[in-house]
Amino acid sequence: MKPFGSSCQCLRWSAGAAFVVCSAVAGEPGSLLDVNYRDLISRADLKCTNTVARSEAGLPVGNGRMGTLVWTTPSALKFQINRVDVFANNCTTDSFPERHTDYCGGCGFVDIEFSEGGPEVFASERTRQHLSCYEGLATVEGKDVKTRTLAWNEKDVLAVEVTDQRAVPGTISVNLRMLRSPLVRTASHIARSKLETRDRRILLAQEFAEGDYFCGSAVAIAVVGRDAEVQPANDTDLHLVVRPGQGPFTVLIASAASFNRKEDVAASVLAQLDAATAKGFAGMRESNRVWWREFWAKSFIHLHSADGVADEVERHYTYYLYLMGSASRGKFPTKFNGMLWTTGGDRRQWGGQFWGANQSCLYNNALLAANHPEVLNPMFDMLSGMLDACSLAARQQWGSQGAFYPETVFFDGLAPLPDDIAAEMRDLYLLRKPWAERSKRFLEYAGTKAPHSSRWNWIQSGRWQNGRWNYQERGGGPFGPVTHIFSRGAKYAYQYWLRYEYTRDQAWLRDRAYPVLKAVAEFYRNFPNVRKGADGKYHIHHVNSNESVQGAHDTDEEIASMRGLFPVLIKASQVLNVDVGMRPAWQEFLDNLAPLPRSDGLGVSTLAPTGGEGRGEGVHWIRGYPPVFRGSGAGRPDGNTMPQWFFDLCTLESDAETIKLGNATLGTTGSRGVGVLSKIPLVAAIMGRADAVRTLVPAQLKAADRSAVLANRMDLREGAQTTSAQRLGNASDALHTALCYDLPAGPGQPSVIRVFAAWPNEWDAAYTLLCRGGFLVSSAMRKGEVQFVEIQSQLGGECRVRHPWGDGEVVLHRGGQKAETLSGSLLKFNTQRGETIVLVRPGTTAEQFRQSVPTPTSQ
């Protein structure tokens, strides 16, 4: 790209400074933006000049499979070792009918205690803490003691380098503690914990068992570089006491887990200690540096505004990617309610199940745009792993075909049902049998089930009486907040499809995406309460819209899901050349599907007033049609989900009537607060509303619904021990869309790239992000002016771009040379695999670029 700049060492800028464009660093994306990634990512670092007030505000360190927060007390550095693959129970459990009592994730407590040798080493006013996001390293410096902690990416080992510089050092005790008593029985469930010593290493093993279910975990600790002796403390604690001395030594903490009773997790965890000992702290740190350097080089966003708001948005965005890179590389996705960062044992509010709406805040399209599809893999692995269980549930629970993915579900799906229970459940849940006629057998069977599960969510709470849990119903018959939600399966399936659209990986489409797409579509097509009406349209009856509208008809969630899912299923079958005979049936269903519910529809006047969040002037989409069994707000949009936008049903490429409906549904946004789970910032970005993005994205980061935002930028929105980053994920999704729009006119149609489609003119920005079709797009804006558009075509094919400057000619360069001149609102051009395209205004020179393109600044 010689016409557009020459190479330089790095790019730094500050407000008002001249900006520079450079050639690409080899192997890193972007030819015009030579980014000093270390400086850029370091802007998101956590820096504390004293101790944090609570453990949940500690420094997060993880390798995607195991992790911990790092926090202090005056005399100790503290950790709770957590894993993504430790679950105390699964979908077959009958032992946790009380809400919030099922648990997961925790493996053990570890303290490095400095109880001898002088005054408190981590006194608040003398403690400095720093989390380096660029290399995943947490540093804590107290009085004459310094520690550095990392989670090794190659093995499941946490390494803590301790440097004791005290004039009179004392003994240091490394304490391994159980999370609970050695033996805990909960109904039919048994949790066992056992401490042992093996060759000056201490080990804690856990086993969870109920019926055929089993999960085991182990944590082992070794000290390298200093002599240490084992000292038993009590039944729940074991200590490694390190001999006094100055200088550094390393504490290695390894973990492992398995669902196989026969697997020796203790042997596995000790082998990992051996590997870490051989590598050494310096070797593990260098290994992590390489991994994180490659992670960060896949994309970037840099923002600046005179008031500093844009800079703060950037820091939160980068930090979100750090958290997901640290917590999502295992067999299962990290959970919304605590992730890998719980500090108070293994119990957490909302228990061990996965909530679709909450998980979607973390696992959304921001990760695809950030060029990190691999971070989504744990979610896809879990969903594909439960496909068989969800297929059985579709038949047993609903009398349908395909697969039923519930809104709330255990990591392994839904349990098989006895035939008589399944038959009665179908009749009750499909409203073919009055709820008042439910059998005693059905009620007793439900009494041992987890009430947070979608299947049993008509159960509210209860109390223990004479050793028996007596539950109370919600009072809405078979309806609960998540019982009759089917749209979650469609949203999962569509995300499988989107991963294909970004990567064009046909093996992924064939082996992973297509089975789920087909299964969820077939569930809808065969669902007994989807029927053709007198108008010749397929309508869906007695379903939810999100949690608060229950038992309505043609709800926005379900109609949007079907309207989004069937077009991409048909297209996928064409790409793969499979199920040719099914396409006419799918097309007939789609052609005759009821439209999205609108405020001018039949019966809407009988609903509650339609004013409120999201409603603008004129006709707008609503949440569903009457009759509504229970709940409120069916006559207005749902600010938490806005499902019409999840499936590319309303974009700036849509027809004028659809765009008008979309804007009316979004309504006026103003400068109000934005909830953690709200999709309104994303919807504003999709509708091209730069004014709304300017206020809503920062508002969401501030968590206006009074959730407790912590010093580490996470929050406790979900309650006790639920440290999470849901609002960061939602805001990041909106941010990507505002910066680099790549949405089509409808599901399965060709996408169109728009740079800065909803971007505030007063915010300067530069980025490299991935678009559908495998196009890696780099661009920059300064003072409201787009500087250039660079497109790396990783897969080849036609690229479609809306005119970056609105009108006039656009000069297209290939390989650094002018190739052609384009004009018109939609610019279309063919690309070759590996080719780089640059779009600029006529007459632009390299010198102008060197003076105008924004690039990262150090902090």
Tell me the fold of 2-34+761-852: Immunoglobulin-like (2.60.40)
Angstrom CA distances, 268 to 518, 744, 815, stand at: 39, 48, 51
pLDDT single digits (tens) 307-341: 999 999 999 999 999 999 999 999 999 999 999 99
Q: What is the residue-averaged pLDDT of the chain?
A: 92
Reference 122, options 55, 178, 60, 68; nearest CA is: 55
The total number of residues shown for the chain amounts to 859
The pLDDT, as a whole number, for residue 10 is 30
pLDDT single digits (tens) 633-684: 888 888 778 888 889 999 999 999 999 999 999 988 765 678 899 999 999 9
The pLDDT, as a whole number, for residue 609 is 56
Give the number of other CB atoms < 10 A from CB of residue 242.
24
Reference 849, options 788, 803, 794; nearest CA is: 788
pLDDT single digits (tens) 502-552: 999 999 999 999 999 999 999 999 999 999 999 999 999 999 999 999 999
Please return the burial class of 2, using the count of CB atoms within 10 Å of its CB with bins 0-12, 13-18 and 19+: exposed
pLDDT at 183 over 90: yes
Reference 266, options 189, 332, 197; nearest CA is: 197
- Give the type of residue at 612: G
pLDDT at 130 over 90: yes
Q: How far apart (Å, rounded) are the C-alpha atoms in residues 133 and 307?
A: 24
The beta-strand segments (E) located in 582-729 are 630-631
The pLDDT, as a whole number, for residue 117 is 63
Q: How far apart (Å, rounded) are the C-alpha atoms in residues 646 and 649?
A: 7
Reference 142, options 131, 130, 126; nearest CA is: 126
The pLDDT, as a whole number, for residue 848 is 60
Q: Do domains 2-34+761-852 and 46-94+102-297 have the same CATH topology?
A: no
Q: What is the three-state SS of 719-730?
A: CCCCCECHHHHH
Compute, in degrees rounded to 10, the torsion defined by CA atoms 148, 149, 150, 156: 140
**3-class SS at 750?**
coil
**3-class SS at 282?**
helix
pLDDT at 704 over 60: no
Burial 130-140 (b: 16+ CB within 10 A, else e): bbbbbbbbbbb
Angstrom CA distances, 68 to 326, 337, 429, 667, 743, stand at: 10, 14, 42, 42, 37
Average pLDDT value for residue range 728-744: 97
The pLDDT, as a whole number, for residue 13 is 37
- Asked if residue 39 lies in contact with residue 10, where contact means CB atoms within 8 angstroms, the answer is yes
Average pLDDT value for residue range 477-501: 98
**3-class SS at 364?**
coil
pLDDT at 570 over 90: yes
CATH second-level architecture of 46-94+102-297?
A: Distorted Sandwich (2.70)
DSSP letters, 378-440, are HHHHHHHHTHHHHHHHHHHHHS-SS----SEEBTTB-----HHHHHHHHHHHTTSS-GGG--H
From its phi and psi, is residue 785 left (phi > 0), alpha (psi between -120 and 50) or beta? beta
Q: How far apart (Å, rounded) are the C-alpha atoms in residues 256 and 423?
A: 41
> Comparing 191 with 850, which gets the higher pLDDT?
191
> Comparing 52 with 318, which gets the higher pLDDT?
318
Q: Report which DSSP code applies to 762.
A: T
Reference 252, options 311, 196, 176, 303; nearest CA is: 176
- Asked if residue 279 lies in contact with residue 287, where contact means CB atoms within 8 angstroms, the answer is yes
* CB proximity list for 31: less than 8 A, separation 6 or greater: 1, 4, 23, 24, 778, 790, 792, 836, 838
Question: Which of 560-569, 605-614, 625-634 has maximum average pLDDT?
Answer: 560-569
The pLDDT, as a whole number, for residue 618 is 84
Q: Give the domain ranges of the chain.
A: 2-34+761-852, 46-94+102-297
Pure H helices in 144-219: none
Name beta bridge partners: 147: 140, 162
Average pLDDT value for residue range 103-120: 90
Angstrom CA distances, 829 to 38, 338, 502, 746, stand at: 35, 46, 18, 21
The pLDDT, as a whole number, for residue 706 is 59
Task: Place 557 in a pLDDT band, splitting at 50, 70 and 90.
Answer: very high
Average pLDDT value for residue range 708-736: 94
The pLDDT, as a whole number, for residue 7 is 28
Average pLDDT value for residue range 398-405: 98
